[in-house]
Chain A
């Protein structure tokens, strides 16, 4: 336990509780959308299972918060979608699947991998292993969906939206300066990646996983690369 960083660690797990409960709502809706679009039953099933997984993950977050004598926030009840509403139905569905699975879940896997490497506490390690096992499937769902969707619609419409998806995934906080304790390496022992490392992991995962993934589907990643480069250039100032 890292007592000095306790409040910050609890704050991060509380945010994760909201991330998980919100994702559960979105995966349920995405699964129904896939079913209506005629997607393979396996993908619909994966989305449905992902929705249930996220509820279980939120329960783990709540357990960790209670173990730290921290308050468990209410579950997210808003079904949040991030794409423009004037997209065609299959485009809108594709936008949301890509934002959720290809970007957010793929990026979350990178964080989990980092945390697993650093975990020393047996309970935390067990939780992280369970989450990582599930999140692999949640991320794969997005890439599998794209492989199906590429034969049904022109995926090039996604290109101008990719930076907005990357921004939505990070929220407003990641590329803002944080308090000094947010960079404390000891946070890793509480299941939290120090903020300066999170920024670099986020950009490295964009470069090495997300962007090459989109390029597998011949989606232009120029704007996303430019966004990532701009963020990379802000790092020295944020870390000084």
Chain B
């Protein structure tokens, strides 16, 4: 796999993956009832990035 193929494999592969897992937008079942959206979707305990200098990539 060469770099120039990565767009096709990753980007188009990803969007195709969603289409394959359910309808045009792939949405799963909505939350039951009239549940309001959650106040937070990520833990509040996430450490701020200050002081982190390392990479996130290989």
How many interface contacts (CB-CB < 8 Å) are there between A and B? 175
Q: Is the CB of B17 within 8 A of A42?
A: yes
Docked complex Cα distance between A113 and B1 (Å): 6
Distance, CA A30 to CA B27, complexed state (A) = 17
Within the complex, which residue of A139, A148, A150 is in contact with B10, where a contact is CB–CB below 8 Å? Answer: A139
Q: How many angstroms from the CA of A108 to the CA of B14 in the assembled complex?
A: 16
Residues of A within 8 A of B (CB): 15-16, 18-19, 22-23, 29-30, 33-34, 36-43, 78-82, 89-90, 92-93, 96, 99-100, 103-104, 106-114, 116, 132, 136, 139-148, 150-151, 168-174, 201-202, 204-205, 208-209, 212-213, 216
Inter-chain contact B25/A151, CB cutoff 8 Å = yes
> B18 and A113: CB pair below 8 A?
no
Are B2 and A148 in contact, with the CB atoms below 8 A? no
The answer to whether A148 and B42 have CB atoms under 8 Å apart is: no
The answer to whether A140 touches B10 (Cβ under 8 A) is: yes
CA distance A173 to B6 in the complex (A): 25
User: Known contacts A81-B49, A89-B39; is A205 also within 8 Å of B6 by CB?
Assistant: yes
Given A79-B43, A168-B56, A109:B10 Cβ within 8 A:
yes
In the bound assembly, the distance between CA atoms of A176 and B51 in angstroms comes to: 17
Which chain B residues (2-35) contact chain A, with CB distance < 8 Å? 2-4, 6-7, 9-15, 17-19, 21-22, 25-31
Q: How far is the CA of A136 from the CA of B7 in the complex (A)?
A: 11
**Which residues from A are CB-within-8-Å of B38?**
36-37, 89
| Residues of B contacting A18 in the complex (Cβ-Cβ under 8 angstroms) | 54
Contacts of B12 in A (CB 8 A): 143
- The answer on a CB contact under 8 Å between B30 and A38 is yes
Q: Which residue of A lies closest to B22 (CB)?
A: A40
Rank and list the top 4 A-B pairs by shortest CB-CB distance, nearest first.
A143-B14, A171-B55, A140-B14, A42-B21
Q: A36-B38, A144-B26, A209-B3 are in contact. Are A106 and B10 (CB under 8 A)?
A: yes
Closest chain-B Cβ to A24's Cβ sits at a distance in Å of 12
